[in-house]
Amino acid sequence: MEKREVRRIVKERFKALSEEQKLSKSRAVIEQLRQFFAQRQISVAALFSPLRDEVQIGEFVEEMVSKGDCRVVLPRVIDDGPNSKMEFFDYRADSMHVGSYGILEPQSGEPCDVSEIDVMIVPGVAFGRDGSRLGRGKGFYDRYLAREGFRAECIGVCLDFQLFDTLPVEPHDRGMDCVISNEL
The string of pLDDT tens digits covering residues 154-176 is 999 999 999 999 999 888 889 99
Residue 103 has pLDDT above 70, yes or no: yes
Q: Stretch 63-70: mean pLDDT, rounded? A: 94
Per-residue confidence at 184, pLDDT binned at 50, 70, 90? low
Give the 3-state secondary structure of residue 88. strand
Pairing mode, strands 133-134 and 126-128: antiparallel
pTM, 2 dp = 0.93
SS (H, E, C) 38-66: HCCCCCEEECCCCCCCCCCCHHHHHHHHH
